Amino acid sequence: MTLILFDFDGVLADTLDDLIQFGQEACNELGVSHIATPNDLDVLEIMSFATYGRQLEVPESLVDEFVRRCLEKIAGKKSPPSIFNGLGEVIQELSSSNVIGIVTSNSSEIVTAFLIRHHLVDVIRVIYGVDSPGSKAEKISLAQNQFAAAGEAVFMVGDAASDIRAAKEAGVKSIAVSWGHQSAETLIGAAADYLVHSPRELMKVIEKFGG
């Protein structure tokens, strides 16, 4: 049995265009003149809405409001984001013999709506969202304590350098995916344990190196 923890935005959910659009809308509403681009996400040391806002030159006094507006816009979208091609099937297969969880800076409500839309809500054991206390590393450790026996393999699957650092801090293996918000070069620089380029490759790594 292996515990597999997924980040949400850029790993499960294809939200790049949404993040650029909603970040830009929030900037416009708050009077911030920065033009949002994918590079604003690629360069983040810590992947969160707060650090995203700071990268977009949102004044510190308005960062919390930027975060609130972005989450509100995402929650208000008519339909949840799409899932990356082939990933739903891989998660279904992995869930038959592993424990699957999500650790994200997005809200649990938004994640749950996505899981319902893509018929995955019954295979995800736990969601640690922005509404759960603690850092990402602390949430990974909490999940490990709750769902992994001593000596069992634990993987954190992310698309950002901060996911890799959180995995290292928690003492678990990191798998970086190249289809997300940060480039392969950024992920290689963060020294992920494994870098994969497709959902099937992800499954092969887990099957080979899992418990």
What CATH number is given to the structural domain containing 144? 3.40.50.1000
**Residue 211 reports pLDDT greater than 80:** no
% of the chain with per-residue pLDDT over 90: 90
How many CB atoms are located within 10 Å of the residue 209 CB?
14
Does the pLDDT at position 176 exceed 90? yes
Q: What pLDDT shows up at residue 163?
A: 96
Q: What pLDDT is stored for residue 82 in this prediction?
A: 95
Please give the pLDDT value at position 122: 96
What is the band of 150 on the pLDDT scale with cuts at 50, 70, 90? Answer: confident
pLDDT grade for 87, boundaries at 50, 70 and 90:
very high
CA nearest to 5, candidates 184, 177, 181, 131: 177
CA atoms of 157 and 134, how far apart (whole Å): 18
Residue 62 DSSP label: G
Summarised one tens digit per residue, pLDDT across range 33-70 is 999 999 999 999 888 999 999 999 999 999 999 999 99
How many structural domains compose the chain? Answer: 2
Cβ–Cβ under 8 Å, residues 56 and 40: yes
The answer on 189 and 93 residing in a single domain is yes
Tell me what pLDDT residue 157 has: 98
Verify that 88 and 178 share a domain, yes or no: yes
Looking at the structure, tell me whether residues 49 and 62 fall in a common domain.
yes
21 and 7 within one domain: no
- The residue from 34, 54, 76 where one domain ends is 76
Last residue of a domain, one of 51, 76, 101: 76
* Same domain membership, residue 180 and residue 94: yes
Check whether residue 106 and residue 147 sit in a common domain.
yes
- Residue 140's domain spans which residues? 3-14+80-209
Assess whether 102 and 187 both reside in one domain: yes
Residues 45, 49, 54, 57, CA torsion sign: positive
Task: Clarify whether residues 37 and 61 are in a common domain.
Answer: yes
CB 167 within 8 A of CB 144: no
